[in-house]
Chain A
């Protein structure tokens, strides 16, 4: 019962948040609505007993990815974007095609789900005593070990690629070498002289 109320709460806020992402004029609000949607999706995961996935969604998407979006938006100059409502025809077709395909897929999957009589409760995590995370680990490191390694390799390549693409050697940039600074001795950094009176140091 309580779960039903929570489900409708999370689901309706999730839908409202997603609408907010699309409809907000200001991209900053879009990202904040996106965070709200992620948060409620995490709530839905928790509700079907997939607590590890729910918390992971919060850590990765809310804690890292959406923060990156926010950073990019905060550093981009948004005053130049005057929206005169004109779009190039290519853009419009692209949006319509992508949206149409997604909508089609959703309708197909809903129809297939209805036809096969599969209920949501069958997807619910098994109510055994084995913890969620232990179950996941057992599956990941036995049945799916090669895809798992392949995915980690792809992520690594993505990271290395991003660094290689953006990293530039800048000429003349000043850098601090902490070990060099600490390694300096008194002898090599200062010279103590006792100038004789009236002559100064020459």
Chain B
């Protein structure tokens, strides 16, 4: 019996270990800054919304409240992890992981700078769409397994919302792929060297920004957690570290969606103009600045807009965005053909 496994033991030699070590280092190198960004995004959100509403936001823990995210995390992790008596326990515990994992694994294909990408695959865009399709399962599983009314209703709403907006997001992405002529994210960024896609495809850029707001369940589309109707939506029953995972997953998803927007429409790591003061700054800093800008739009819209009603949300997704993105896709294809840009 053992000799069958013999070749597999031989796998573990020095060269393979070295490769494995590099892989692990790459993963750690992407995920740990991401988690720090997630923590400080919560701080930034409170500060930005506070200043828009003429308040001060967190000020007590550390300088300008910079210790607040850490204090919050410690507080959350030391609480009791309660599981409802009638919950389906295995599904209940897997659900938060299913929210967090897709938000993290998608980073494998995001290029931070030229060549600074974990996996430079040809179907990067497809990979992103496939992983973002997984996110809805965490939500549905959480809502169903809690065996409680509010989480259930919240989960049904979220599921419908995410599936609806994925359609218009996919069509928007298709028009970008048409313009770039590739599904490789590095190639898409390189295709934007002459002009960022947000300029010729400005309406699509707007549609995409609105769709990512709906996709990540952020205000003004945060219906799943409309507190006046549904308490906290699908994660009402969760506490402690499993709640923390939902929370981290939501913010990691926000950063991920901003990064996708930057890669698809705002030229990734490219400077706005390839002239002296701009191209002194390294590419990944440009990337970071652009992601921060899109994240600011997330927070800005949360402080500005009232929540949509559910039927208005569905109307916007299916009756406005879907026909419009379809029309724009045909228009893009036609323009590419007529002006011989293929």
CB proximity to B under 8 Å, residues A162-202: 176, 178
Nearest-neighbour CB distance to chain B for A166, whole angstroms, equals 15
Q: Do B122 and A51 have beta carbons less than 8 Å apart? A: yes
CB proximity to A under 8 Å, residues B117-133: 121-123, 126-127, 129-130, 133
- Is A115's CB within 8 Å of the partner chain B? no
| Prevailing SS type, chain B contact patch | helix
Q: A55-B130, A64-B163 are in contact. Are A132 and B122 (CB under 8 A)?
A: yes
Q: Do A74 and B152 have beta carbons less than 8 Å apart? A: yes
| Prevailing SS type, chain A contact patch | helix
A1-22 Cβ-contact flags toward B at 8 Å (1 or 0): 1101100000000000000000
Q: A58-B133, A59-B130 are in contact. Are A52 and B156 (CB under 8 A)?
A: no
* Residue among A28, A55, A70 making CB contact with B126, cutoff 8 Å: A55
Residue of A nearest to B320 (CB): A178
Nearest-neighbour CB distance to chain B for A13, whole angstroms, equals 15
Q: A62: which B residues are within 8 A, CB to CB?
A: 130, 133-134
Q: Do A132 and B123 have beta carbons less than 8 Å apart? A: yes
Residue of B nearest to A59 (CB): B130
Q: How many residues of B contact A (CB 8 A)?
A: 31
B325-340 Cβ-contact flags toward A at 8 Å (1 or 0): 0000000000000000
B22-61 Cβ-contact flags toward A at 8 Å (1 or 0): 0000000000000000000000000000000000000000
Q: A29: which B residues are within 8 A, CB to CB?
A: 91
Residue of A nearest to B183 (CB): A133
Instruction: A1 to B19: give the CA distance in the assembly, Å.
Output: 14
Q: B7: which A residues are within 8 A, CB to CB?
A: 1
Q: A51-B122, A55-B123, A67-B163 are in contact. Are A1 and B133 (CB under 8 A)?
A: no
Q: A55-B130, A63-B130, A63-B166 are in contact. Are A35 and B121 (CB under 8 A)?
A: no
Q: Which of A2, A32, A63, A178 neighbours the largest number of chain B CB atoms within 10 Å of its CB?
A: A63
Interface size class on chain A is 20 to 34
Instruction: A51 to B126: give the CA distance in the assembly, Å.
Output: 10
Q: A1-B8, A63-B130, A75-B156 are in contact. Are A131 and B140 (CB under 8 A)?
A: no
Instruction: A133 to B187: give the CA distance in the assembly, Å.
Output: 15
Q: B296: which A residues are within 8 A, CB to CB?
A: none
Q: A140: which B residues are within 8 A, CB to CB?
A: none
Q: A32-B91, A133-B183 are in contact. Are A2 and B11 (CB under 8 A)?
A: yes
Q: Do B140 and A74 have beta carbons less than 8 Å apart? A: yes
**Residues of A at under 8 Å CB distance from B?**
1-2, 4-5, 28-29, 32, 35, 42, 51-52, 55-56, 58-59, 62-64, 67, 70-71, 74-75, 131-133, 176, 178
For this complex, 12 residue pairs linking A to B, each with C-beta atoms less than 8 Å apart, are A1-B8, A2-B11, A28-B91, A32-B141, A52-B126, A55-B123, A71-B159, A71-B160, A74-B143, A132-B122, A176-B311, A176-B312
